[in-house]
Amino acid sequence: MDSTASDDDRWMVINGRRWRRTDPCLPAELEEALKSHLGRGRSAVKAAKSSGDADQLAAARRRVGLAKTGLGERGPYWWDEEPDARIARASSAVQELDKL
């Protein structure tokens, strides 16, 4: 567990809303892969909203959710888990995203 992480390490505030930060223990290449998938997912959400395709929108939102969970921004709080478990979750998310 990363009980030494302060609130400033765990959260950021944008326009008065609190957002969970990316897990700082993720290796750079893993974080980059997840952020790449996140960007593609967000672009796909925008395109799906424009087209009105509900199935495409659901798939795009799933991609965004997987990427954010891998980054530690959704799902279990990363500071409550051991680093090995956090890295394993992120790696699993990348593998699943690569199959999409």
SS (H, E, C) the chain: CCCCCCHHHHEEEECCEEEECCCCCCCHHHHHHHHHHHHHHHHHHHHHHHHCCHHHHHHHHHHHHHHHHHCCCCCCCHHHCCHHHHHHHHHHHHHHHHHC
Low-confidence winner among 6-15, 30-39, 40-49, 78-87 (lowest mean pLDDT): 6-15
Kindly report, residue by residue over 32-69, the tens digit of the pLDDT.
999 999 999 999 999 999 999 999 999 999 999 999 99
0.75 cut: is pTM over it?
yes
